[in-house]
């Protein structure tokens, strides 16, 4: 926390009120946005990225290295219908429409995940969620989900890690999260709740609490569920030339 000190032109004395105000303001901003030193100690060591010709290794590297993504479900809250004028609209689900005049709508939500503890990569994404949340509630009707990851999220893993030039948006660079060289991975499959007390449950719990420490303090009344993505399809772009569909 840094305090700025002003001097008056006549006396050269310190303006204590300004010092106090700016010190307090600095503390408020640091609390809200984090200090410049935040992130120097990474929770896990970030391993080197595989080369673009090693697709499977790149996918495993992303699942182990990244710590959040967009988890998409088939929404039970909204649906797509065609009105009397032939226009397609997204509306709140009424429960009265039929398959003939309504279509499913995807719903994406930010979710933290791990694939194990820092030194034990399993390749399977694990989540901590609750059926009070829309994403988990959706899976009660359709458990099919997709997890979308981007290499552009690397800086959130460790605050001192800069985004790659291929991902970083800048006035003079070519980088962008949609740049094919900025790797994108989509894992699709089934969300499965883990049985409490099993080895896999304990592994997921240990990994999530290690790599997302605040989770251990989340309110118990939410009836948290440890769950995994049973991967059944892998879609990857990490270079020019189109997507790679990888074996599970």
* CA angle (184, 48, 145) in 5-degree steps: 30
pLDDT tens for 173-197 read 889 999 999 999 999 999 999 999 9
Alpha-carbon distance of 55 to 41, in angstroms, equals 29
Instruction: Look at phi and psi of residue 242 and say left if phi exceeds 0, alpha if psi is from -120 to 50, else beta.
Output: left
Mean pLDDT, the chain cut into blocks of 10 residues (248 residues total): 37 40 36 38 86 96 97 96 90 67 93 96 97 98 98 84 81 91 97 98 98 96 97 97 96
Taking the model in full, what pTM does it have? Answer: 0.81
Going by their DSSP bridges, the two strands 88-92 and 78-82 should be labelled as antiparallel
What pLDDT does residue 98 have? 53
DSSP code at position 32: H
Q: Percentage of residues in the chain with pLDDT exceeding 70?
A: 79
Alpha-carbon distance of 18 to 12, in angstroms, equals 14
Quick check: helix, strand or coil at residue 209? helix
């Amino acid at each position: 926390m840094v305090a700025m000190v002003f001097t008056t032109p006549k006396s050269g004395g310190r303006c204590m009120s300004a010092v106090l105000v700016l010190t307090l303001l600095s503390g408020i901003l640091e609390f809200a946005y984090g200090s410049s030193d935040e992130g120097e100690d990474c929770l896990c060591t970030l391993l080197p990225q595989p080369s673009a010709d090693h697709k499977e290794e790149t996918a495993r590297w992303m699942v182990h290295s990244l710590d959040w993504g967009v988890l998409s479900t088939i929404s039970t809250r909204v649906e797509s219908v065609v009105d009397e004028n032939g226009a397609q609209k997204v509306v709140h689900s009424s429960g009265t429409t039929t398959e003939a005049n309504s279509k499913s709508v995807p719903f994406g939500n930010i979710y933290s995940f791990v694939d194990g503890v820092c030194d034990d990569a399993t390749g399977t994404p694990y989540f901590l969620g609750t059926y009070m949340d829309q994403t988990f509630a959706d899976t009660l009707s359709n458990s099919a989900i997709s997890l979308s990851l981007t290499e552009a999220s690397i800086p959130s893993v460790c605050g001192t890690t800069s985004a790659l030039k291929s991902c970083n948006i800048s006035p003079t660079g070519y980088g962008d999260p949609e740049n094919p060289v900025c790797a994108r991975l989509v894992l699709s499959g089934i969300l499965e709740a883990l049985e409490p007390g099993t080895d896999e449950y304990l592994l997921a719990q240990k990994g999530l609490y290690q790599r997302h420490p605040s989770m251990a303090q989340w309110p118990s009344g939410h009836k948290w569920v440890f769950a995994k993505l049973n991967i059944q399809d892998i879609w990857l772009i990490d270079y020019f030339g189109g997507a790679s569909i990888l074996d599970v």
